[in-house]
Amino acid sequence: MNSDEGPGRNLSASGRRPATLLTHAGRDPHSFHGFVNPPVVRASTVLFASADEMKNRRTSRYSYGLTNTPTIEALNGAWTELEGAATTVLVPSGLAAVTVAILASVSAGEEILVPDNVYGPTRAFCNGTLKRLGIGTTFYDPMDLASLKEALKNGARAVFAEAPGSLTFEFPDLQEILDAAAAADAVTMIDNTWATPLIYRPIEHGFDLSIQASTKYVGGHADLMLGSISASEKMATRLMRTHRELGVQAGPDEIYLGLRGMRTMKVRLEQHERQALEVAKWVGERAQVKRLLHPAFPSCPGHENWRRFFGRSCGLFAFELDGDGAMAERFLDSLKLFGLGFSWGGFESLASYGELTEQRTVKPWTGGPVVRLHIGLEDIADQIADLEGAFAALAE
Ligand SMILES: *Cc1c(COP(=O)(O)O)cnc(C)c1O
């Protein structure tokens, strides 16, 4: 894995490479007695020196804890550089990053296009709150963009993308999505949680908004809920206004954990990637596995797109069992090292299984039950031994 080569790993505006940005951006030791890390500023009130300063607070760097503090600035600044974006806002969860990005992009009477394999709660937001606000959602097949192009011709104003798709990992042709949206002058956004800006930098490729569930690899330790949205020049003002009006700033201690996690994200991600590739290869060779759903393997739909746009991966993938839901549950119940739980990106291995029937409305899922694994940082031999035990239990 050659660290900084390939698509999406260009130099930042400051000329620093990603690994250097991760370790140095967002801190200035000598402005705080030489301490390596910045202090956490917990704040609501900011005092003004005069009535005049109070009146002109819009021009002050700091005026209220909700809008800006040195802590907010530290992560915002670092993440903006890493994304190659015009600006970044922080929110209390990855889901809030999704919803604020969408609310910044569409208005009553407009329509947004969302992939059929989108993260489940994103679908729920579209079908719930967004619908109530008079904003329509059309779900599209991420692997056949004809319906997306048709909807754009008919006036859809925004396109949401996710790569690879949640749970089933199909990888869409991102350039085709961007080209179709550009031709219709529609706003584009992508949930980039799986890749992080270390693998793919959406803004540089033409997306208007890049969404990150920082809860996952940025935090990295299963102890943080945090999200961010970065914007291109075109959407920067709109995003900042929406974020400010909604009042959904992230908390200072969460932001600090985000900054702290960011410092080691590259080495963690590379280790997750390496171990997941090895475990996935082993999983793909099991007799009970019908199909390996890891974009780096040819069995995964859109593998060629993954090669073209990402070329690298993380610790999260899935596989389809040759059996039924009861078999998937038996598999999960036989695991001892892998925990059963949602979220991912932490140091520990996780497994999950959920029915896909209600999560696919464009193209019903006709495959076997899908088990999702997050490969943590345990010894790989122990990880494989645990999975081996669970596969053996299926044969009993
Ligand atoms: C987990 C996840 C989210 C939501 O993040 P939370 O911090 O858990 O709200 C959004 N998108 C994707 C792809 C995710 O996996």
Q: With b meaning 16 or more CB within 10 Å and e meaning fewer, what string describes 363-375?
A: eebeebbbbbbbb
Nearest CA to ligand 1 atom 1: 343
How far is it, in rounded angstroms, from Cα 119 to Cα 116? Answer: 9
Whether ligand 1 lies within 6 angstroms of the CB of 227 is answered as yes
Query: For every one of its 396 residues, what pLDDT tens digit does the chain have, with 9 covering 90 and above?
Result: 334 444 334 456 678 899 999 999 999 999 999 999 999 999 999 999 999 999 999 899 999 999 999 999 999 999 999 999 999 999 999 999 999 999 999 999 999 999 999 999 999 999 999 999 999 999 999 999 999 999 999 999 999 999 999 999 999 999 999 999 999 999 999 999 999 999 999 999 999 999 999 999 999 999 999 999 999 999 999 999 999 999 999 999 999 999 999 999 999 999 999 999 999 999 999 999 999 999 999 999 999 999 999 999 999 999 999 999 999 999 999 999 999 999 999 999 999 998 898 899 999 999 999 999 999 999 999 999 999 999 999 988
β-strands 209-213, 187-191: how paired? parallel
> CA-to-CA distance for 215 and 254, rounded, in angstroms?
10
Ligand 1 center from residue 95 Cα (angstroms): 6
Give the C-alpha separation, 79 to 35, whole Å: 21
170 in contact with ligand 1, CB cutoff 6 A:
no
Question: Would you say the C-alpha torsion 84, 90, 96, 100 has a positive or negative sign?
Answer: negative
CATH of 18-263, one of 3.40.50.150, 3.40.640.10, 3.30.70.100, 1.10.3470.10: 3.40.640.10
What letter represents residue 325's amino acid? G
pTM of the model: 0.96
Q: Which of 126, 118, 167 is nearest to 354 (CA)?
A: 167
**Residue 302 to residues 143, 201, 371, Cα–Cα distance (Å):** 7, 19, 19
Ligand 1 pocket, 196 CB below 6 A? no
Q: Of 212, 201, 252, which Cα lies nearest the Cα of 69? A: 252
**Phi, psi of 210, deg, nearest 5:** -120, 120
| Partners of 139 in beta bridges | 114
CA of 224 relative to ligand 1 center, distance in Å: 12
Any atom of ligand 1 within 6 Å of the Cβ of 193: yes
Task: Name the fold adopted by 265-394.
Answer: Aspartate Aminotransferase, domain 1 (3.90.1150)
What gap in Å lies between CA 325 and CA 265, rounded to an integer?
35
Q: Which residues fall within 8 angstroms of residue 34, CB to CB, at 6 or more apart?
A: none
Domain ranges of the chain: 18-263, 265-394
Query: In this structure, is the dihedral angle defined by the CA atoms of residues 6, 217, 258 and 120, taken in order, positive or negative?
Result: positive
Continuous segment of H or E residues that includes residue 151: helix 146-153
Residue nearest atom 3 in ligand 1 by C-alpha distance: 94
